[in-house]
Amino acid sequence: MSGNTDKHIMRRALKLALKGRGHVSPNPRVGAVITAPDGTIIGEGCHTHFGGLHAEAAALKACDGKDTRGATIYVNLEPCCFQGKTPPCTTAIIKSGIRRVVAAVPDPDPRVNGRGFAALREAGVRVEVGVLADEARHLNRGYFSARERGRAWCAVKVALSLDGKMAALDGESKWITGPEARKLTHALRADHDAVMVGAGTVRHDNPQLTVRSVRGPSPARIILAPHFGIPPDSKLAESAAQIRTILVTTETADPPGADDKTIELLRMKENKFGMIDPEELLSRLVDFGIQSLLIEGGSRVLSSFMQADLIDEISVGYAPSVIGQGISPFEDFNPVSWSGRPRFRIARIKHYGEDVVITYNRVT
């Protein structure tokens, strides 16, 4: 098939993979499409929940008796080659008579990492890798970050006035951007394993941190509170039995809410400044099954992660208003040097009503 055809069908596989959002982690999001030798789609599927069928097996099952000999399977991640909760996908592909595998990227899992492709090639299956690789890596950016860097992917979302303020001096900040841009916040939450704010944001804004304006699962909620807890009458505490809620505090603190059995505790050592080390936190979150984190505030939390140069992506909603004297999102950030300051490049620009949302990716 032509390169354009391969890209078109791979985009279908990526779209299918999104159906697993919020349900498959810490497994990757994977979609698969099978085409007959004449290019007709005869089966497709995705990994829908942790422990369930892998995308390749689901696509083969969807073929429902159709002849798969000589077929091509498109998949956004290298097929697995080991026995886990389900049998190896490479074995199923080989037995099906599929003769061509088009994959976006290798699987960084050390149990796979090229071995899946090798097993297929050894069985005489033609393997092509690299179709829409960047899109595939972004789809599973948390999965790749956890396996390649040993830490969760770290994204930030802020709403700013034209003069770069996220709140007035008294802390008032509600609805800087309009309803269209606020829907993006909910979409971002649904796309990450967890959303995090500081204790000050909980006390001042009393947020829910749930997904409401779009379809999708609510992520785990994390409160970074080295010396504070969660007010028992807060929306987070009241809904902790329904939505996973994690309180990050120090090893010696005895914060309010620490004895609440519906709230998970992640205790960490204080650094030399009496705070939680951001890099260690991102590493520890992987052990909690959290591979992608969205930080929504406040300024001290955002500044600490920027200071540690750990922010991978920033989505900024700019509203056509001016606050004047107010609070900047990185108020406490102090770069080590001008040349060593964190750098970002524009990845996407989109209008939402009267607002503009720009997404920036970290320059590595």
Q: In sequence order, which residues have a C-beta less than 8 Å from that of residue 85 and are 6 or more positions away? A: 51
122 counts as catalytic: no
Terminal CA-to-CA distance of the chain, rounded, Å? 35
Q: Which residues pair with 156 in a beta bridge?
A: 295, 314
Residue with the two structure tokens 């709230």: 263
Given the residues 56, 78, 296, 313, the one annotated as active site:
56
Q: In sequence order, which residues have a C-beta less than 8 Å from that of residue 295 and are 6 or more positions away? A: 154, 155, 156, 157, 195, 196, 197, 301, 302, 305, 311
Helix/strand/coil for 56: helix
Q: Are 268 and 248 in contact (CB under 8 A)?
A: yes
Q: Are 235 and 221 in contact (CB under 8 A)?
A: no
Q: Are 78 and 128 in contact (CB under 8 A)?
A: no
Q: Which residues pair with 250 in a beta bridge?
A: 268
**Which residues are marked as active site?**
56
